[in-house]
Each structure stands twice: as structure tokens, then as C-alpha cells.
Amino acid sequence: MLQGSKEEHDLYISQMIKKIAQDEANYCIKNRLSFREPSDVVGVIFEELEETEDALKQLNASIRDFFENIKYNADYDTIIQKIRAISLSAEFTIHEAMQVKAVALKAIEQLEKAPTDANQ
């Protein structure tokens, strides 16, 4: 969506994020072990969270490196390389955060279907 209000564009982006996360969750449902109870989710979701935190730390480092190069008047090509590194780090961070959402979606779908005392 290239036209419309900021609110419409934000809604479009949110919908795309939800679609991508659901696609990832569907992949995980088909290709990974099932969640039968909430305790099955804990380790997986914490692992994905840790990977997201690591990616965010790398993004932070990329931005700080960019700032340092600006501060010390690095050449233009170096600055562009630093911005490319930020872009790649941001993309990786988004992907890792998407994994957290996908695990949560998978857990919701599978645990709602699981025969337990809590949901009968």
C-alpha cells in the first residue's frame, strides 16, 4: 500500500505482520514437535526471546557504530556501509521477534485443541 493515510498504512503493515507470523506458525506446526501442555512452550519461547534479545543487541551495536562514524567524520562509503548494516540487523531482529510470535500462535492453536482439564 503506497497511498492512503498514515493510519491506513500502519494497519496494512500490522496485517502483513500478522499474516507472516501465521505463515511461520503454520510451518512450525507442520515441521516441529507439538505443544501438548503449557510447560512444553516455556523452553521454546524463551529460546526465541533470547535470540531476539541477541539480535536487538547487535542492532544497537550497529546503530552506535554508525553514530561513532558520523561523529568522527568517516567517509561517505563507510557511512553507507554502516547504514546497510543497520538495515540488515533490523531485518534480522524483526525475523527473530517474529519467531516469538509464531511460537505463541502455535502454542495457542495447539493448546486450545489439547484435551486438558483446563479447557474441557
Instruction: Using the predicted structure, report yes or no on whether residue 116 has a pLDDT greater than 90.
Output: no
pLDDT tens for each residue of 97-115: 999 999 999 999 999 987 7
Euclidean distance between CA atoms 78 and 69, whole angstroms: 8
Instruction: Using the predicted structure, report yes or no on whether residue 2 has a pLDDT greater than 80.
Output: no
Predicted local confidence at residue 93, as pLDDT: 98
Domain ranges of the chain: 6-113
Predicted local confidence at residue 58, as pLDDT: 99
Average pLDDT over residues 72-87: 98
Instruction: Using the predicted structure, report yes or no on whether residue 1 has a pLDDT greater than 90.
Output: no
Cell of 100: 516469538
34: which residues sit within 8 A by CB, 6+ positions away? 40, 110
User: What is the DSSP secondary structure assignment for residue 4, as one 8-state letter?
Assistant: S
Predicted local confidence at residue 3, as pLDDT: 80
Question: In this structure, are residues 28 and 17 in contact, taking their beta carbons and an 8 Å threshold?
Answer: no
Taking Cα atoms as reference points, which of 93, 94, 89 lies closest to residue 62?
Answer: 89
Residue where the block lists cell 495457542: 108
pLDDT tens for each residue of 24-65: 999 999 999 999 999 999 999 999 999 999 999 999 999 999
Instruction: Using the predicted structure, report yes or no on whether residue 68 has a pLDDT greater than 60.
Output: yes
